[in-house]
Amino acid sequence: MNKKTIITLLLVIMAMAGQAQTKVRLHGTAQADAKTVYFIKDLNSSEIIDSTAVTAGKWKYEVELPRGQYMLVMVSDASRREQDMEGLVAIMADTTLTEIDLTTGTVKGSKATEAMNSTVKGFIACMTMQPTEGVDPKVEAMKLMRRAVMDNLDSMLPLYFVPMMADGLPVGDLQRIFYEGAPYADLPDMQEAKWRLAFLSGQSPRSIGKTFIDLTMNDIDGKPHRLSEWCGKGRYVLIDFWASWCGPCRAEMPNVVACYEKYHDKGLDIIGISFDAKKDAWLQAIDQLKMPWIHLSDLAAWNSIAAKTYEIRAIPANILLDGEGRIIDIDLRDNLLDERLAEIFGSER
């Protein structure tokens, strides 16, 4: 992924809504040879919307921004010449006096402004790093964005990151994001996430509060089993939808294994439901990934009765049931799964 693509995908800088104008006051430093600080419309730097002069490494900027402009992105002419992404700064457009150092890319301002800048820089770093064993740059980027959003729900910051990760947010996060009176709730870029919350909270067979739907599938020995043999029997059950051919599923599995080992004795069972079509590949993956729980499949791939019953359109996916067989959360991945289970069973010490 090249730098231009990364920046283009990162944020949509302008969002329109009926809000009063915001008076922004900025001051700071720039490189010794900088003459100008540019304010740009988006992170692709394709449209300069304003500029201010640099004198002896110092600059300041005051402006009343138009309705709906909740962010400013800036870069010095020196950083642009060097194509230095570290010199780019992104801030929330609020009334807090903000100090910006374009030589280091750091800011001192409101809590949301500081979170925005550090998250943007962290996101860029994640997307330009090479994957290593145990570290997925996309997962790390998601963690950064989620933390920024959940820590700044009283600002417009969620407007920029929630649309990028809505599909991966659990219903609990979405409920917190769309609290009554959330200032960004009705803006166009938030509607997909808002729809997902309604979907998870209402009519879907995976909606929170619904009772699991029973079905019958074969285990690895070809013996038929019903979900009700485990679900609704007093223990918590994670129904995990996966497949041997699914790269993200395989990448997630060590995390699921760790959670199973951590919480199984405390009351957690896992039922793996595979969307495989070839039994050999299914069994080999179970062995390779060391998955010690119950495994079921009808070897029908996306035509699986499980996919149809639970409206699974993408994997990995999961459903967490309480002891009575009611759905209490879905699609918990990476640290979110452990965090949710820790809420239920308590953290190990």
Residue range 171-195, pLDDT digits in tens: 889 989 999 999 999 999 898 898 8
Interatomic CA distance for residues 105 and 90, integer angstroms: 9
Interatomic CA distance for residues 12 and 41, integer angstroms: 9
Return the minimum-mean-pLDDT range out of 7-16, 38-47, 138-147: 7-16
Residues 6+ apart with CB under 8 A from 315: 241, 242, 243, 246, 248, 249, 275
Of 81-85, 196-200, 251-255, give the range with the top mean pLDDT.
Answer: 251-255
Q: Which two tokens stand for residue 217?
A: 């599938």
Scanning 276-323, the segments in alpha helix (DSSP H) are 279-289, 305-310
> In the prediction, which pLDDT does 218 show?
97
> In the prediction, which pLDDT does 17 show?
34
> In the prediction, which pLDDT does 80 show?
82
Q: How many residues are listed for the chain in this entry?
A: 349
243-263 confidence digits (pLDDT tens): 999 999 999 999 999 999 999
**pTM score over 0.75:** no
> In the prediction, which pLDDT does 349 show?
43
Residue 205, preceding peptide bond in cis (omega within 30° of 0): no
> In the prediction, which pLDDT does 8 show?
39
Q: In this structure, are residues 117 and 4 in contact, taking their beta carbons and an 8 Å threshold? A: no
Grouping H, G, I as helix, E, B as strand and the rest as coil, residue 329 is: strand
At residue 340, does pLDDT exceed 90? yes
Q: What is the mean pLDDT of residues 143-161?
A: 93
At residue 315, does pLDDT exceed 80? yes
What is the residue whose two structure tokens read 């359109």? 313
Interatomic CA distance for residues 167 and 145, integer angstroms: 13
State the average pLDDT for the chain: 87
* Rg of the chain taking only CA atoms, in angstroms: 24
> In the prediction, which pLDDT does 30 show?
93
> In the prediction, which pLDDT does 225 show?
97
Could you give the percent of the chain with pLDDT greater than 90?
A: 60
Angle formed by the axes of helices 191-201 and 158-165, to 10°?
60
> In the prediction, which pLDDT does 2 show?
47
SS (H, E, C) 184-220: CCCCHHHHHHHHHHHHHHCCCCCCCCCECCCCEEECC
> In the prediction, which pLDDT does 133 show?
62
